[in-house]
Structure 1
């Protein structure tokens, strides 16, 4: 296994995360505050699965906050 950091996009911004990083690590790196929903490569990931969802190099992560108002 390589020690080369994973290169991922979080809300279209490039981030480097350590090998073995999970979606929970990406959420922490982004600094987003709840409430939000998360998707990896356009696939929704339930909140309870963030810590177990391993990331791969070049994954695209979207963290979406609800928009209030109308």
Structure 2
């Protein structure tokens, strides 16, 4: 299954939950926001949101500063 992750093609072995993708990217527990097809997915929904073929996933890290 193919998705677009931060603008680049990314292949998944099988359909998976958004939380599984985040875990495979070693981003679990980090301050990030995730949008799928330009729609923000709330963190509590990551484990039930199933990715579909050609979904466009954007992962953005929060950066502190001033």
Does the pair score TM above 0.5?
yes
Q: Once the two structures are superposed, what CA deviation does each residue of 1:22-49 show, in whole Å capped at 9, x if it has no partner?
A: 1112212222250101110110001010
TM-score, normalisation: structure 2: 0.82
Does the 8 Å CA contact 1:22/1:54 hold for their aligned counterparts? yes
TM-score by length of 1: 0.78
Residue in 1 aligned with 2:11?
Answer: 16
Any unmatched runs of 5+ in structure 2?
A: none
Q: Which runs of 4+ in 1 moved over 2 A?
A: 29-33
Note the aligned Cα RMSD (angstroms).
1.5
Structure 1: tracts of 5 or more residues without a match: 1-5
What is the number of equivalent residue pairs in this alignment?
A: 65
Higher relative contact order (CA 8 A, sep 6+): 2
